[in-house]
Amino acid sequence: RRTILLGAAATALAAPFIRPGPARAADFAYKIANNQPMEHPSNVRLAEATKAILEETSGSVDIQIFPSNQLGADTDVLGQLRAGGVEFFQLSPVILSTLVPNASINGIGFAFPNYDAVWKAMDGELGAYARGQIEEAGLIVMDKIWDNGFRQTTSSTKAITSPADLEGFKIRVPVSPLWTSMFSAFGAAPASINFAEVYTALQTGIVDGQENPLTIMKVAKMWEVQKYLSLTNHMWDGFWLLGNRRAWNALPEDAQQIIAKHFNAGAEKQRADVMELNASLRSDLEGHGFTFNEVDPKPFEEKLREAGFYAEWKKTYGDEAWAILEAAVGRQL
Ligand code: X2X
């Protein structure tokens, strides 16, 4: 009880998303953090899941959502998760690679042709491989990865129509060696910036562009600080739902099962939500002032190949991981 109260006091300023509480005090008052506002499908489904967990554990497990980086920027919260200051955290595998190097392998440029290939891989061997790596690093990870999406490129200055448009382009990328490497290979000038600072970085002109899936362009209101949206589809990214091992092991086994069941079901529903949103987001974002263009991905992939991007990352991940990726996408990269 004592530590729970201290934890609550320490985070009181951060104002979590408040759900009507249970009548009794919870045995386990846990936190889950992520970088998205409550409107993002991740948090809509997370709110449902945590409510179901509270009910099915008869008020014993009360998980509060801290959206929008309220507990800190992603790379800071990853440290808090390891230390146990936060019990659960949704994080991109590509950012997670700052701790678990091979976790970023799903983010290799142009690896996945479509969502079917993504879910087959991430619910199959590639996902199992990544989860194995994450567990070896001492973290808990739920089986089902949540969707972030295929990433698109925005700019305040010009449409990105060919790899040449990326030369010297000042673009924000999330904090991760893979992202920096990819945009360096394009000849761009990538700046590693946590999502918490992206809007300000674009607003103040520290960078001219950024890249994210359409759902995030929408919930982050990117049209306020960006003009052109190029459908580059240059990589697929998700969010693993991670847990602190000590906090997880402190839970009774039946509570663990209930939590895993609802978090994994939430992931599947969130994937469907994002898919549905994708169908309408282009016209929605155009309505907000974005100018869209499509690109032929081939010259972009070629540019990465010529720059030695694939060869370098094959060496970094190692033959075993690379073979699992190639088997998952059904071709040599
Ligand atoms: O930081 C980003 O750009 C975001 C929101 O897509 C991730 O979490 C990787």
Of 76, 77, 148, best ligand 1 pocket probe by most atoms within 8 Å of the beta carbon = 148
15-74 tens-digit pLDDT: 667 666 555 789 999 999 999 999 999 999 999 999 999 999 999 999 999 999 999 999
pLDDT bracket for residue 2 (50, 70, 90): very low
133-178 pLDDT per residue, tens = 999 999 999 999 999 999 999 999 999 999 999 999 999 999 999 9
Question: Is the pLDDT confidence value at 254 over 70?
Answer: yes
Which comes out higher in pLDDT, residue 36 or 12?
36
Write down the pLDDT at residue 219. Answer: 98
Tell me: the pLDDT tens digits for 305-317? 999 999 999 999 9
Probe ligand 1: pick from 212, 217, 235, 274, max atoms within 8 Å of CB?
212
Q: How far apart are CA 174 and CA 196, in angstroms?
A: 10
Between CA 77 and CA 104 the distance in angstroms is: 18
The atom of ligand 1 lying closest to the CA of 148 is 6
User: Side-chain half-sphere of 204: how many Cα atoms within 13 Å?
Assistant: 7
Is residue 43 within 8 Å of residue 37, measured between CB atoms?
yes
CA distance 10 to 72: 13
Task: Please give the average per-residue pLDDT across 218-243, as a whole number.
Answer: 98
Cβ-contact 78, 288 below 8 angstroms: no
**Ligand 1 centroid vs 307 CA: distance in angstroms?**
25
Q: Closest residue (by CA) to atom 8 of ligand 1?
A: 92
Task: Kindly report the protein residue whose alpha carbon is nearest to atom 7 of ligand 1.
Answer: 92
For the CA of 174, the closest atom of ligand 1 is: 1
Is the predicted ipTM greater than 0.95, yes or no? yes
Residue of minimum CA distance from atom 1 in ligand 1: 195
| Ligand 1 contact via 119 beta carbon (within 6 Å) | no
Amino acid present at 157: T
- With 80 as the cut, is the pLDDT of residue 12 above it? no
Banded model confidence at residue 280, pLDDT cuts 50, 70, 90: very high
pLDDT of residue 4: 39
Backbone angles phi, psi at 51, to 5 degrees: -65, -45
Q: Is the CB of 90 under 6 A from ligand 1?
A: no
Burial class (CB in 10 A: 0-12, 13-18, 19+), 240: buried
Supply the pLDDT for residue 14.
64
The DSSP-derived string for 122-185 is HTTHHHHHHHHHHHHTTEEE-SSPEEEEE-EEEESS----SGGGGTT-EEEE-S-HHHHHHHHH
**95 in contact with ligand 1, CB cutoff 6 A:** yes
Residues with Cβ < 8 Å from 89, sequence gap 6 or more?
A: 32, 33, 34, 77, 78, 80, 81, 241, 242, 243
Q: What is the mean pLDDT of the chain?
A: 95
Tell how far CA 159 is from the center of its chain.
25
Averaged over 69-80, what is the pLDDT? 98
Q: Is the CB of 195 under 6 A from ligand 1?
A: yes
- Report pLDDT for 17: 72
Residue (of 306, 323, 154) closest to 234 by Cα position:
154
With vertex at residue 33, the alpha carbon angle to CA 130 and CA 220, rounded to the nearest 5 degrees, is 95
What percent of the chain stands above pLDDT 70? 93
pLDDT tier, 111 (very low <50, low <70, confident <90, very high otherwise):
very high
**pLDDT number for residue 21:** 58
pTM (2 decimals)? 0.93
CB 69 within 8 A of CB 35: yes
Q: Are 1 and 34 in contact (CB under 8 A)?
A: no
Q: Which atom of ligand 1 is nearest to the CA of 213?
A: 6
**Distance of CA 195 from the midpoint of ligand 1 (Å):** 6
pLDDT at 5: 38
As beta bridge partners, residue 71 has none
**Any atom of ligand 1 within 6 Å of the Cβ of 174:** yes
